[in-house]
Amino acid sequence: MPQWPYPTKIENPKKTRKGPDFYAKQQKKIDAGLATMEKDLSDEEFCYGNTFTLVDIACGCALVCVDIRLPKMDWRKNFPALALHLARMAKRHSFCILSGIRDPAVQARLQKS
């Protein structure tokens, strides 16, 4: 009978998520994701093709998540195409309702972009 390939004892996640190395590693992942999104979007108005799709909504929601979870991260400076995309998305009332853009701090950052 094969053995279960994964450890049966799970360590306390708080022990493994401490220190600057953990946060630097996570920041690299976020930066790489934003860089890929920026490259794929390039100078286009929409993420995929010439029409508004679910991909645009997902991209916008991811950017709102970065704004809410990492308010000190100034991603707009390094990713101007994404900043422009989120500003266009924020003009859609339905997107604002869907993504929860009601936080005054997020709205203030959107006004700056």
Q: Is the pTM of this model over 0.85?
A: no
Domain count across the chain? 1
Question: Residue 50: inside a domain, yes or no?
Answer: yes
Question: Residue 46: inside a domain, yes or no?
Answer: yes
Return the closest-CA partner of residue 56 out of 88, 15, 9, 100: 88
Question: Residue 11: inside a domain, yes or no?
Answer: no
Distances (CA, A) of 107 to 31, 67, 81, 103, 113: 22, 10, 18, 6, 10
**pLDDT tens digits, 21-41:** 888 999 999 999 999 999 998
Question: Residue 2: inside a domain, yes or no?
Answer: no
The SS3 call for residue 71 is coil
Please give the pLDDT value at position 109: 66
Question: Residue 9: inside a domain, yes or no?
Answer: no
**pLDDT tens digits, 40-74:** 987 888 888 888 899 999 999 999 889 888 888 99
Q: Which domain holds residue 85?
A: 36-112
